[in-house]
């Protein structure tokens, strides 16, 4: 059975970048956002139920994120209804990944780790964090969200300070070097603990 690290952090705080650093240390990484991409793609398990609930969201046999963001922008209750459809499918994908891997450490990159029930199954939890002005700059620099869309997502997420309080480890992602040092220290401590057990 692999050691499970739950990795989370608010939007744009550096989850994917930090997950890649864990992968560089030999950890297997599963990414909840990537699982949603697979579920929304043509033939994905979310296409049919999402089409039934949000017919306008389907474009060329896939769930369109652009359309979904428009729908969420117009109706604040939509995101909750999307989650009810998508989250059970994401949970199935995650369990299948854990069952199939033989890595000693598995990192589960889950934006809603503390908002949902995910944290309880982890051996340890890691939160990535930077000051809010850096977070905003980074997200808006990507050019995939308007400021209003960013604020709508952020308002729905647990505040960064609360996540940091709940986490076993906090990785500061102001620079790549600093973050990589922290990731290496966490992995080394876990491997020492596993060797002693
Ligand atoms: C809202 C959507 C359309 C935005 O798509 P887009 O491609 O622009 O962004 P992406 O998927 O990369 O998400 C960016 C970030 O937004 C945040 N976010 C996404 N969904 C949610 C949510 N339901 N609640 C809070 N934050 C969320 C996360 O921090 C995520 O890392 C998309 O995220 C979506 O369909 N979300 C619903 C499914 C879900 O809950 N996913 C979260 C992981 S299970
Ligand atoms: N340690 C770091 N040092 C410098 N820049 C970083 C660091 N970590 C992440 N970044 C930058 O911050 C931005 C957001 O990072 P990333 O995509 O990893 O965040 P995320 O939390 O996965 O985002 P989302 O919540 O939208 O999925 C990117 O432009 C990335 O290059």
Domains of the chain listed by start with CATH number = 1-27+105-197 (3.40.50.300), 39-102 (no CATH)
Atom of ligand 1 nearest to the CA of 110: 43
The mean pLDDT value of the chain amounts to: 96
Distance 60 CA to ligand 2 centre (A): 30
pLDDT at residue 76 tops 90: no
Return the number of other C-beta atoms located less than 10 Å from residue 14's C-beta: 23
**pLDDT value of residue 102:** 95
pLDDT band with cut points at 50, 70 and 90 for residue 44: very high
129 annotated as ligand-binding: no
State the pLDDT at residue 24: 98
ipTM of the complex: 0.91
Q: What is the 3-state secondary structure (H, E, C) of 149-181?
A: HHHHHHHHCCCHHHHHHHCCEEEECCCHHHHHH
pLDDT per residue as tens digits for the range 82-100: 999 999 999 999 999 999 9
* Stretch (H or E) spanning 5: strand 3-8
Helix/strand/coil percent split, the chain, to 5: 60, 15, 25
Nearest to 171 by CA among 24, 17, 31: 17
Assign 103 a pLDDT band (cuts: 50, 70, 90). Answer: very high
Q: Which residues contact 42 (CB under 8 A, 6 or more apart)?
A: 60, 61, 62
Q: How far is the CA of 194 from the centre of ligand 1 (A)?
A: 34
Quote the strand ranges of 17-141, DSSP E. 28-31, 58-59, 62-63, 105-109, 124-129
pLDDT tier, 166 (very low <50, low <70, confident <90, very high otherwise): very high
Question: Residue 1 pLDDT more than 90?
Answer: no
173 close to ligand 2 (CB < 6 Angstrom): yes
Supply the pLDDT for residue 83.
95
* Residue 176: pLDDT over 90: yes
């Amino acid at each position: 059975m692999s050691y499970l690290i739950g990795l989370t952090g608010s939007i744009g705080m550096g989850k994917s970048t930090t997950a890649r650093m864990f992968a560089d240390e030999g950890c297997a990484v599963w990414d909840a956002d990537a699982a949603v991409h697979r579920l929304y793609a043509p033939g994905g398990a979310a296409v049919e139920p999402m089409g039934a609930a949000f017919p306008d969201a389907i474009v060329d046999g896939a769930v369109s994120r652009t359309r979904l963001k428009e729908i969420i922008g117009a109706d604040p209750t939509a995101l909750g209804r999307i989650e009810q459809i998508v989250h059970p499918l994401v949970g199935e994908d995650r369990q299948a990944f854990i069952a199939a891997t033989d890595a000693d450490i598995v990192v589960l990159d889950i934006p809603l780790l503390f908002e949902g029930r995910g944290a309880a199954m982890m051996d340890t939890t890691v939160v990535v964090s930077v000051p809010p002005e850096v977070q905003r700059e980074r997200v808006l620099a990507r050019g995939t969200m308007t400021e209003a869309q960013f604020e709508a997502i952020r308002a729905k997420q647990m505040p960064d300070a609360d996540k940091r309080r709940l986490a076993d480890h906090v990785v500061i992602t102001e620079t790549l070097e600093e973050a990589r040092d922290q990731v290496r220290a966490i992995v080394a401590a876990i491997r020492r603990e596993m060797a002693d057990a």
